[in-house]
A and B are shown apart, each in its own frame.
Chain A
Amino acid sequence: MRVIVTGMGVVSPIGIGTDQFWSAAVNGISGIKKITSFDASHLRSQIAGEVNEFNPASFLSPKYIEQTDRFTQLALLAADLALEDAGGLGAYAPQRVAISIGSGMGGFATFESSALRKFRNQPVPPFTVPRTMANSAAAWIAIKHRLKGVNLTCSTACSSGANAIGMALDLLRSGRADAVIAGGAEACVLPLTMNGFEILHALTTSSNGDPARASRPFAKGRDGFVMGEGAGILILEREEQATRRGAKIYAQLAGYGQACDASHIVMPDMEGQVAAMRGALDDAGMDPDSIDHINAHATSTPLGDIVETRAIKNLFGDRARHIAVNATKSMIGHSVGASAAIGSIATIMALHTGTIHPTINLEEADPECDLDYTANHAQQKHPRTGLCNAFGFGGNNASILFTTLNEGRD
């Protein structure tokens, strides 16, 4: 039994819809700009990957807009695009279509604005809780499309989207669902949230005057990540049923690995990352020599990119230097719980088109980052297999493995 990807929807700082996103990614376009959604002059990091083109009124009624946070709205658009791409899921009973969404912060835009009102002794908006709760995106996708199957939300910080896709794989293998709408959504370009990451020295502060060059994974002198927002959604089905309904097939979702560092709440640990990648390979019944491409977690923090590089070298040995690694975050920043869902779409598109998108802003690599990161220009590598890594606070490591249909076991 194989699980396959039959539809994709992406809402990102470099494009809405897979075509626009992929065209920008292959051409190395940066979506990082000065923050426009609020006055960021009090922050040390004043740039972000915002989805400036996003207009909820273009596809949602006033009722939906009033009752939903921005992260839910981004998820709703990505889900609409993915379902349209898949040709709809009307072939399945609504009770057999599951939804599995990841989000690190949930409806934090609502939380921050309601908290501000509370501290000013103003009335708190009635939809504060239903807009803030992390499962609201999954719930609203279900309401909008009347889908009554398993409805799950995963909140594991920066790896939320990867785990949500992994959970979807488990749902299809176990027979709990016939199709899953799976991915991640995040909208935390927000004053309090950014201040919180800033205090941890996680955000870049050196490039406010040159936003497009701020996110530079693996590069010498990088100094933190750029906050991003967006959503990525996949439609996943079992191959036999998808083929029967005449669905187009992008790739196979072949494996999912998960491991906890159980050491530090925010510092990354190489062993946990190795365990997650190995877990994905074992799950797919594949060995390290069969991996062609890695869409790295690569947030552009000084420590994180080195640890991930070491983890890849530790697991893949000599093979590591022949793997085409890239960092989607170099162009869109770090969209936390959405990042691995968007990274998955980049991985799938690499398998589907044969092109590895570049890691931009990589003129000179950190000496401790010595792999092939697809620096600055896209490469035609025709990968057959690709891992998408996601490593979150909480020592939460996830890795998902996609292959072309000719690879992997049945």
Chain B
Amino acid sequence: MDTAEIETKVIQFIATKVENLDTSTINRSSKFEELGLDSMDTIQLLFDAEDAFGINFDSEEAKGFTSVGDIISYIENHQAQASS
């Protein structure tokens, strides 16, 4: 899955967690807090991504995620590892 596809998927998952969110404003630098994602929403987001991309987030590393880009970069790196 290329970067654009990963971004689209992650943004779709975020859209199901916040009421009336304008998804066109979401980019890699968007912070979870700014988007209105609470800690439960973030855990659910990681779960969605694990299922969709067939990866497992390292829970210690995932605790440090604060932005959309953090998740996307992790997925990119681990998909690359899985296929190399």
Which chain A residues have a beta carbon within 8 Å of chain B's beta carbons? 61-63, 65-66, 123, 125-127
| 3 nearest A-B pairs in the assembled complex, by CB-CB distance | A62-B16, A126-B43, A126-B44
**A66, B47: Cα distance in complex, Å:** 12
Task: Determine if B1 is an interface residue (Cβ-Cβ < 8 Å).
Answer: no
- Once the chains bind, are B44 and A127 in contact (CB under 8 Å)? yes
What is the CB-to-nearest-CB distance from A127 to chain B, in angstroms, rounded to a whole number? Answer: 6
**A125, B44: Cα distance in complex, Å:** 7
CB pairs A–B below 8 angstroms (20 shown): A61-B19, A62-B15, A62-B17, A63-B16, A63-B17, A63-B18, A63-B19, A65-B16, A66-B16, A66-B17, A66-B44, A123-B47, A123-B50, A123-B56, A126-B40, A126-B43, A126-B44, A126-B47, A127-B40, A127-B44
What is the CB-to-nearest-CB distance from B32 to chain A, in angstroms, rounded to a whole number? Answer: 15
The DSSP consensus for interface residues of chain A is loop
**A43, B70: Cα distance in complex, Å:** 46
Task: Determine if B5 is an interface residue (Cβ-Cβ < 8 Å).
Answer: no
* Chain B 38-58 interface mask (CB, 8 Å, partner A; 1/0): 001001100100110000100
What is the CB-to-nearest-CB distance from A139 to chain B, in angstroms, rounded to a whole number? Answer: 14
**A125, B43: Cα distance in complex, Å:** 9
What is the CB-to-nearest-CB distance from B18 to chain A, in angstroms, rounded to a whole number? Answer: 7
Chain A, residue nearest B50 (CB): A123
Residues in B with CB closer than 8 Å to A123 are 47, 50-51, 56
Residues in A with CB closer than 8 Å to B18 are 63
**A63, B19: Cα distance in complex, Å:** 7
Which chain B residues have a beta carbon within 8 Å of chain A's beta carbons? 15-19, 40, 43-44, 47, 50-51, 56
What is the CB-to-nearest-CB distance from B46 to chain A, in angstroms, rounded to a whole number? Answer: 8
What is the CB-to-nearest-CB distance from A73 to chain B, in angstroms, rounded to a whole number? Answer: 15
What is the CB-to-nearest-CB distance from A200 to chain B, in angstroms, rounded to a whole number? Answer: 35
Known: A62-B16, A63-B16, A66-B17. 10 other contacts (CB 8 A): A61-B19, A62-B15, A62-B17, A63-B18, A66-B16, A123-B47, A123-B56, A125-B44, A126-B43, A126-B44
Residues in A with CB closer than 8 Å to B56 are 123
What is the CB-to-nearest-CB distance from A121 to chain B, in angstroms, rounded to a whole number? Answer: 11
Residues in A with CB closer than 8 Å to B43 are 126
Residues in B with CB closer than 8 Å to A125 are 44, 47
Chain A, residue nearest B20 (CB): A61
What is the CB-to-nearest-CB distance from A213 to chain B, in angstroms, rounded to a whole number? Answer: 42
**A127, B56: Cα distance in complex, Å:** 18
Chain A, residue nearest B21 (CB): A63
Residues in A with CB closer than 8 Å to B50 are 123
Chain A, residue nearest B56 (CB): A123
What is the CB-to-nearest-CB distance from B22 to chain A, in angstroms, rounded to a whole number? Answer: 14
What is the CB-to-nearest-CB distance from B36 to chain A, in angstroms, rounded to a whole number? Answer: 10
**A62, B17: Cα distance in complex, Å:** 7
**A61, B44: Cα distance in complex, Å:** 16
Residues in B with CB closer than 8 Å to A127 are 40, 44
Q: Which of B16, B40, B51, B56 has the most CB of A within 10 A?
A: B16
**A126, B18: Cα distance in complex, Å:** 16
**A66, B43: Cα distance in complex, Å:** 13
**A127, B17: Cα distance in complex, Å:** 12
Chain B, residue nearest A125 (CB): B47
**A316, B19: Cα distance in complex, Å:** 55
Residues in A with CB closer than 8 Å to B19 are 61, 63
Residues in B with CB closer than 8 Å to A126 are 40, 43-44, 47
Residues in B with CB closer than 8 Å to A61 are 19
**A125, B56: Cα distance in complex, Å:** 13
